[in-house]
Structures are given as C-alpha cells and as structure tokens.
Amino acid sequence: MEYMNTASTGDGESGPRWLSDDEQRVWRAYLHATMLFEDHLDRQLQRDAGMPHVYYGLLVQLSQSPHRRKRMTELAIGAKITRSRLSHAIARLEKNGWVRREDCPSDKRGQNAVLTDAGFEVLKAAAPAHVEAVRQALFDRLTPEQVGQLGEIMRIMSDALQPQESGADLPWLR
C-alpha cells in the first residue's frame, strides 16, 4: 500500500506522493538486492569465520583505530547500532577472546573496546574471503562508471539519513 500509485482524486486535496511505476521497480530492486547482499555477506562470514557481518564490522573498526581501541559510544555510532546491541555484541566478542573492555581513563563512566591479538588474527584470517565475497557480489558486476555512480548515490542517501545537527533522533545516539 505504501508504494501504491494512485491517480489524483481531483478534489484539490494533496495526498501521499505515491511512487511512480519506475520508482516502485527501483525501490523493490533496491530492497531485494540489499537484503540478498547482506544475507550473502552474513552467511559467508558465519561459514568462514564463525561470526555475523556486524561483528566483523566491529572488529574492522577497532583494527583501524589508534592502538586498536575505541570508545563504546563511538563504536556504536560507527556501526549504526544501538548501545544495547553493541553491548551484547561486545560481550560475545569478549567471550571469544577477540575483544576486551577497559574503563576509559578520561571519563569514569565510559568504556573502551580493545581488539585483542587473537581478535586481530581472526580478522586477518577472515578478511580475504570476505573481500572476495564483496568483490564477486558487487564490484565484479559493475563497470567503473557504475561504481562511481553507486558511490555518489550512497553518499547522497547517507547524508540525508544521518543529520549532523545535535539532538538528531538516531538509534545509535541514544
């Protein structure tokens, strides 16, 4: 219903701006592709590294941070997940010995997540197959021009969906 394309009622009232037939096709193709892509990456990482895609992303963030350490709040923002979901994920990663938590020296209420040597080794082992899965499912199927266009489209969408003003109601900021 939310994607319906209905003719104007002609009564002068403005109603929903329904998607055109072309927009509906693009929207559905986008949803279908993104769901399949995320599922593909998640299955690949579960099979090859024993972790879901979101955990891999957390390990990557930590590996790229100074001293392989990042404040939990910043980690949640980077992963676009709630603090509650992050806390659960970090607990699982701690159980595996891949991450440890430390109190933040500059803020007694804050905590840092730290990528352990074991976690770094797991990430190094998982990265080649993961990159190949991304390459085969996405980049190998696009021309260089399409890659550039896709990048620009995603930047425009991200900018619109992640306002920079303080007080933005985003789950990972709560």
Residue pLDDT, tens place only, 59-112: 999 999 999 999 999 999 899 898 899 999 999 999 999 999 999 888 778 899
Give CA–CA dist 151/37, Å, rounded. 16
Residue 172 confidence (pLDDT) above 70: no
DSSP 1: -
Residue pair 111/103 in contact (Cβ under 8 Å)? The answer is yes
Residue 168 confidence (pLDDT) above 90: no
Residue 97's Cα: distance from chain center in Å? 23
Q: What is the mean pLDDT of residues 20-48?
A: 96
pTM of the model: 0.83
Helix (H) or strand (E) holding 82: none
